[in-house]
Structure 1
Amino acid sequence: MAWNEPGGNNNDPWKNKGGRDQGPPDLDDVFKNLFGKFSKSTGGSGGSGKGVSSAGIGLVVGLIVVIWAVSGFYTIREAERGVVLRFGEYYTQVEPGLRWAPRFIDRVIPVDIQSIRDQSSSGSMLTEDENLVRVQMEMQFRVIDPYRWIYAVVEPEVSLSQALDSAIRYVVGHSKMDDVLTDGREETRQRVWQELQDIIEPYDMGVQIIDMNFKDARPPEEVKDAFDDAIAAQEDEQRFIREAEAYARELEPRARGRVNRMNEEAQAYKERVILQAEGEVARFEELLPQYEAAPQVTRQRIYLETMESVFSNTTKVMIDSEGGGNMMYLPLDKILERQGTQQTQDESRNALETLRNAATPDTPVTTTNRQSTRGDRFGRGGN
């Protein structure tokens, strides 16, 4: 049965304590009993709970002071700096470590100054050539001045987000769609970074922009396929350019090698011609005294030496028109070599066919007649 059911059964746990009806304990009675115990422990006259000695009050105050002093210790981590406010006003900054601040007087706000934070912004924007693109960029920053970070603006992260959004929209609005989507992405990223720096600089927010990432930029879905084809064509162009450059790098050493070889050959030819000319000059200088002493003999000698040099590499047949039409074969060693070569079977057949073609139809040519004809010919040549 519940203690508060009707019917006269009063089972309230705060009543009937000790057999009497009574309400909840009074706080005044509690404090009086507490001070009375302190008075008894110090020998005071507070046994009745109506008086409190100064020693008891001092003990309570000391206990409160100890609790207050202990509660003032705090720790600043290595990556943080503490901003100390005294009665709500900026007082100082503290370094990492175990620190103490008077409770209810100083307030310490730790600020992380080493971690890299990020802030992103995205949205559909209109370019300079009146095309719609969706751009998403991410900024990475770090706090370098804790005091300025807390008190320069009301909400620093919201302010940074708005500044980033303004910078992106300004740069995209002054750029063409092809530049934002294709080969101008890096330039767009740099311009957004610079524009963001210019926006937040007057506010002196105590932050440093570490990097700016161009995460995404795409056209509307209706023309996405066409732009994908255009991007693929540009990628193919870059690939072809790289292949051509690789081919040029491969071909250039070979061409340089050929050029060097040709230069060396030309230099060698030059030196050979110079040496030959110098040799000719020296030879003519040696012949000059002999020519001056006997011009006719020297001229005839030079002529014979020249003819010897010319006819040493020829197989021509010379006919002496003034001496009776005799034939003279020069040089003789070539004739002997030819006679030895014509003894082979193949050359014999070729010679036989030649003689048959040269003979008249009424005069048959045999091998015996051919040999006698050759003998008469060489006999006349010998005469």
Structure 2
Amino acid sequence: MRILDGLGQRIRLAMAGNNPWGSGGDGSSGSGDDGDNGGGDKPKGPRNPWLPPGSGGKGGDGRRGPNIEDIFRNRGPEGPRRQGSGGPGGPGFRMPQRPGGKSWFPVLVVGIIALGLLATSVHLIGPQQQAVVKTLGDYTRTLDSGLQFTAPFPIESVEVEDVQGVRAVRIPGNDTQVKLILTGDQNLVDLSYIVRWNIRNLSDFKFRVVDPIETVNEVAEAAMRASIAEKQLDETFSGQGRAAIELDVRERMQRTLDNYQAGINVLGVEIEKADPPGQVVDAFRDVQVAEQNADAARNQAQGYAQQVLAQAQGEAEAFDKVYEEYRLAPEVTRQRLYYETMERVLSNTDTTVIEAQGVTPYLPLPEIRRRAQQSQPAATVTAPEGQ
């Protein structure tokens, strides 16, 4: 009980501003830093460690007891408050005050908030772009190109998208991948193609399908397989067949995407490569060479047939004309035909047969003519000697 009474007395002295650690008269409560001086005016005992030297008391270096209000006044949530940023006694930073003594901090906060609201309310949309507006997360309207205004975020949010730019997707994604498709004649063809598209309806594009790009890929592959299944293998290699396939794939894709309400416009499909599978490419090339040779022979035969047919038609027309003449004068026409036929036959032979009385049946007229031509230069040369 005595200990508690003594402790309570010291706490009361501390709150009254007196030193609880020594007496000012007899110095019987212990010796301190000033105990060897023996002065009666200076307090003895340990000093208060919370106060700087000379902050109170009698004699200049005595220490005043801490006041509980001063302790909590100089403290805050972050710890003991400092008097200045430049050290003891240095000046601290203070925000400039408005006329009237009020702080500029609330005005600065309000200005920053207003600037943020203005930045989220004004939108400059490009000439090839459109934007969808969502009010509290729900779609409300579509904005065209130009300077547009909306409610600030988070009340309304804006998503801008390029709707006129052409987008391309290549199937398969790179040259190392193989895309084998079955043709109508049960053959396999390795195809790679490009699909070009853009956005027709931005709201449908954003909110009707989960992944529009993946949807385009899947629809393109399904349309290509369906179109190739209706064609022969040779049609996929020819230029005219490719054009028909590209047009058919584009129409199939557009119908499917319109049924999905995807808001996508298919601009075109271009087949880059149509080759046989790599395992049979050598055999396929041999088959192609054989087909080309067969086509060449077939074309040559058709040309010869057309030539013979034209010649036969010409001869038939000539015979019709001769027949008309024969009907008018049969005997004369018969004799003329005989002479023309003999002339055409005998003009290509060296033997001449004459059937007449008193004439040699066989006359080698071409041989005689040839001998005469050979002897004529010799007679021309020997003529001066005879003179």
Bin the TM-score by the shorter chain: 0.3 to 0.5
If each structure's helix is expressed as a fraction of its own residues, which one has the higher value? 1
